[in-house]
Amino acid sequence: MNIEESFLKYFGCAPLGVYRAPARINLIGEHLDYNGGTVLPAAISLYISAAVSIRDDSKIKVYSLNTNNGFEVDLEEIKKDSKYEWANYVFGVFYILLRDGYKIPKGLNILISSEIPLGSGLSSSAALLVLITHLTSEIFKLGLLPIDVVKVAKKVENDYLGLKSGIMDQASIALAKENCCLLLNCDKLEYKHIPLDLGDYTFVVLKTNVPRSLVSSKYNERVEECQKGLSVLKKHFDINNLCEIEVSKLDKIRELISDDVIYSRVKHVITEQNRVYEFTKALEKKDISKLGELLNESHLSLKEDYEVSGRYLDAIQEAALNAGAIGARMTGAGFGGCAIALIKKDFFNEFKERVLSDYYNKTGLHADVVEVNITSGPELLRKR
């Protein structure tokens, strides 16, 4: 049964249209978005889709084929409530739009189906936020530009859901362009598309199948640790954020920050920012070896300095390298989820078999290795 048939079964009418938004990977630049840094994500061909119709009343009614449950709320009565579970992400979009003065004259029926694994580090939640914001703007002609969609989605996470997230995930999805990654300055919201032409090589997604919660205390803890480091360094450097500091200043910073943990967090941010710039240069030169080296360095920093990888991400990264990857690293917030690996295209089947075997022997869990394409942002897939 396709999504239109499921919509008819659940809501008793045909949908007005079907929209979709992609997942994303971050090639490099992890945990830099909330530190005002420049990152390098790309949207990938795993999608969350929504069939939608306009209601005659002011209710938002949502149903997920993945969780097999649904919720409804009146537009005039929206507030965050744990009883709404995943639907808080949907309702939060309408809350922010209404709060910011946009007119939503009618309610909607929305049926959601996702092939993006939850808690995977591929930004299923950001994809949902971008999708709902985009389709609402299109249906009610709100006139939101892609950058406006990004801002609304971020406000939902920050103001409605209480998550101290940056803007990378929303931007990497809403601003995505086919066969390009996005060089995004998260502080100034300046960006440009970088062609991703790897010749005989490609990125693949490695799913640990260990979910993680983005709203975990560890995530917010890292944000706070970086803020502590920034408050110390602002007394000695003319900076607005940690990513403005050059790698050459690390020795000086070691003298200024006595707390070993805070120093390690700051060290990761500064070195990771440098890796983004080096990675971009390597892409332009098509220097595959350098790309692999930087991926591995990034993972090591996330493991040792930022401490967000964990047993399963480390195991699958190591399995990828053992299987012949040029480089591999965790992607996303960490604490479980996914990694990416750079491999030769014609090596995929052998690589997949080796990774699955190695990872299972290390963890007792079955991983997934997925081929993906670099794709564009949210779109209307079908219209009645």
For residue 33, give the 3-state DSSP assignment: helix
Share of the chain above pLDDT 90, in %: 91
Percentage of residues in the chain having pLDDT higher than 70: 98
Res. 218 pLDDT band, cuts 50 70 90: confident
Please give the pLDDT value at position 336: 84
Q: What is the mean pLDDT of the chain?
A: 95
pLDDT at 261 over 50: yes
Beta bridge partners of residue 193, listed in sequence order: 182
Q: In angstroms, what CA-CA distances link 73 with 81, 87, 114, 128, 162?
A: 11, 10, 22, 18, 20
Q: What is the pTM assigned to this prediction?
A: 0.91
pLDDT, average across residues 250-264: 97
What average pLDDT does the segment 316-342 reach? 95
Q: What angle do CA 357, 363, 369 make, to 5 degrees?
A: 45
Nearby residues of 349 by Cβ (< 8 Å), 6 or more positions away: none
Name the band, by pLDDT with cuts 50, 70 and 90, for residue 211. low
Range in 57-71, 84-98, 332-346, 350-364 with the lowest mean pLDDT: 332-346
Active site residues: 169
Q: Where in the chain is the domain with CATH 3.30.230.10?
A: 3-196+375-383
Does 217 score more than 60 pLDDT?
no
How many Cβ atoms from other residues are within 10 Å of residue 45's Cβ? 15
pLDDT band at 77 (very low <50, low <70, confident <90, very high): very high
Asked if residue 300 lies in contact with residue 314, where contact means CB atoms within 8 angstroms, the answer is no
Mean pLDDT of 54-76: 97
With a cut of 80, say whether residue 216 has pLDDT above it. Answer: no
Stretch 52-68: mean pLDDT: 97
Does 51 score more than 70 pLDDT? Answer: yes
Confidence at residue 215, expressed as pLDDT on a 0 to 100 scale: 36
Instruction: Quote the tokens at residue 94.
Output: 């309408």
CATH of 201-371, one of 3.40.50.150, 2.60.40.420, 3.30.70.890, 3.40.50.20: 3.30.70.890
Start and end residues for every CATH 3.30.70.890 domain found in the chain? 201-371
Report the candidate in 35, 44, 64, 58 with the shortest Cα–Cα distance to residue 204. 44
pLDDT digit string, tens, across residues 113-150: 999 987 777 889 999 999 999 999 999 999 999 999 99
Q: Answer yes or no: CATH 3.30.390.30 is held by domain 3-196+375-383.
A: no
pLDDT at 214: 40
Beta bridge partners of 112: 50, 64
The owner of tokens 């005659």 is 56
